[in-house]
Each structure stands twice: as structure tokens, then as C-alpha cells.
């Protein structure tokens, strides 16, 4: 029952995710941070089976840190997206992982970029997207109001509009959302109410 949303702006990537951990009709927690900071300029918003996505994203994060420690180099967002896709494709044959991911990052050369990666290893670079139940309700709103050169303030307002649509149309009340932005200054959380 995860709802994960992300969009690329003029010089940033903005991600939002609900903070609930629910199964069937029971909410077990409502303060889960589903947007992991992979490094100083990359975020990984996650949805799917909680045990799978937590274990898998920690595995990815640790491998990126190991690579940086061994080589002294930080992978580009494109390289990280392909590494994640390769790992999911490998695991689908060994021990499938139900993890749907939105990778956002900011690179010095290529600027902001967003990648959609699903549990089957599908990889696509997009300007905006949503995963989970949110996609049924939010993609139309994003399609209508998204602009290529959107500013951070406009992006936050668009995210608020998407979350309002989700609250209005989705039978399940996802009370809390967390929002993070990644830009040239790194990753930071955005407080919005």
C-alpha cells in the first residue's frame, strides 16, 4: 500500500513517499522513512514488501559505499540505476525481491535525473512518475501540471496537489508523507504542511 512520487525540476529531483507500514487493514507504523539517502547526491524512494525493500536498499547502499571506499570514485546516477537494475534482474532468478524504486540524483555533468525501477528490473529515465497505489490517482495530475523548467516551490506545490488528490480519491487514508529534495547542495528533507 505504498505511495511513492518523484519529479525532476529545473535543477533538482523531488521525491515524496507515505510514511505508513500497513498490511491488509492494519497500520503497524506511521513514521517510516521510505526515501533512503544512498550518498550525498542520490535518493532512493522505495515501495513494495517492507522486508524486501529495506534489505535490498540497504544492500545497494552498502555496495555503493564499498565501491567508493575501494576506488575513491562516486558512481553517477545513471551507473547506480544500471547497477540496481542488474541486481534486481539477477535476484529475480535466485530469490525474487518485491521492491519498486525511484532513484533520484544530481550529477555535476548531467544535472538532475530520475529513474523508475520496478521489481522485475524494468529501468526507465523519466521526468515524473509514481509507484504503488498512488500511480492510479496521481499520474493524471502530474501529466496535467508538470512543466520541464519547474522551480522547487512549484514542485512542492505540485506534490501537495498530488497528495491532496490521493487523500480525496483513495479509500485508504495515508496520513503522513515525507518529502526530500536532491540538488547541487545535496539531499535535504522538505517540511510541508
Where is average pLDDT lowest: 68-72, 146-150, 175-179?
175-179
Task: Give the pLDDT of residue 22.
Answer: 67
Helix (H, G, I), strand (E, B) or coil at 8: strand
pLDDT in tens, 5-21: 999 999 999 999 988 76
pLDDT digits (tens, 9 = 90+) for 97-115: 888 999 999 999 999 999 9
Residue, of 68 and 191, whose pLDDT is higher: 68
Answer yes or no: is pLDDT of 51 > 90: no
Global pTM reads 0.91
- Mean of all residue pLDDT scores within the chain: 89
Distances (CA, A) of 50 to 54, 66, 67: 6, 24, 26
Per-residue pLDDT, 28: 65
Whole-number pLDDT of residue 49:
81
- CATH number, position 99: 3.60.20.10
Range of the domain at 28: 3-190
Closest CA to 129 of 121, 119, 118: 118
Between 83 and 166, residue with greater pLDDT: 83
Q: Find the angle CA(34)-CA(77)-CA(110) to the nearest 5 degrees.
A: 130
pLDDT value, residue 186: 94
111-170 pLDDT, tens digit each: 999 999 999 999 999 999 999 877 888 899 999 999 989 999 999 999 999 988 887 766
How confident is the model over 32-46, as a mean pLDDT? 92
Mean pLDDT of 74-84: 96
Overall number of domains in the chain: 1
Query: For residue 173, how many other CB atoms are within 10 A of its CB?
Result: 9
Relative orientation angle of helices 50-71 and 77-94, to the nearest 10 degrees: 130
Amino acid at each position: 500500500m505504498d505511495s511513492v512520487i518523484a519529479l525532476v525540476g529545473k535543477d533538482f529531483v523531488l521525491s515524496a513517499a507515505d510514511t505508513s507500514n500497513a498490511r491488509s487493514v492494519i497500520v503497524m507504523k506511521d513514521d517510516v522513512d521510505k526515501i533512503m539517502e544512498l550518498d550525498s547526491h542520490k535518493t532512493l524512494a522505495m515501495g513494495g514488501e517492507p522486508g524486501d525493500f529495506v534489505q535490498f536498499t540497504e544492500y545497494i547502499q552498502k555496495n555503493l559505499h564499498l565501491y567508493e571506499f575501494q576506488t575513491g570514485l562516486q558512481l553517477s546516477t545513471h551507473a547506480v540505476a544500471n547497477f540496481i537494475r542488474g541486481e534486481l534482474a539477477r535476484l529475480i532468478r535466485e530469490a525474487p525481491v518485491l521492491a519498486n524504486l525511484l532513484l533520484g540524483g544530481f550529477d555535476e555533468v548531467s544535472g538532475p535525473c530520475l529513474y523508475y525501477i520496478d521489481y522485475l528490473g524494468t529501468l526507465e529515465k523519466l521526468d515524473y512518475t509514481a509507484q504503488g497505489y498512488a500511480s492510479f490517482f496521481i499520474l493524471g495530475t502530474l501529466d496535467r501540471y508538470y512543466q520541464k523548467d519547474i522551480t522547487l516551490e512549484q514542485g512542492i506545490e505540485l506534490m501537495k496537489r498530488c497528495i491532496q488528490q490521493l487523500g480525496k480519491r483513495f479509500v485508504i487514508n495515508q496520513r503522513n508523507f515525507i518529502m526530500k529534495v536532491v540538488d547541487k547542495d545535496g539531499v535535504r528533507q522538505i517540511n510541508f504542511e
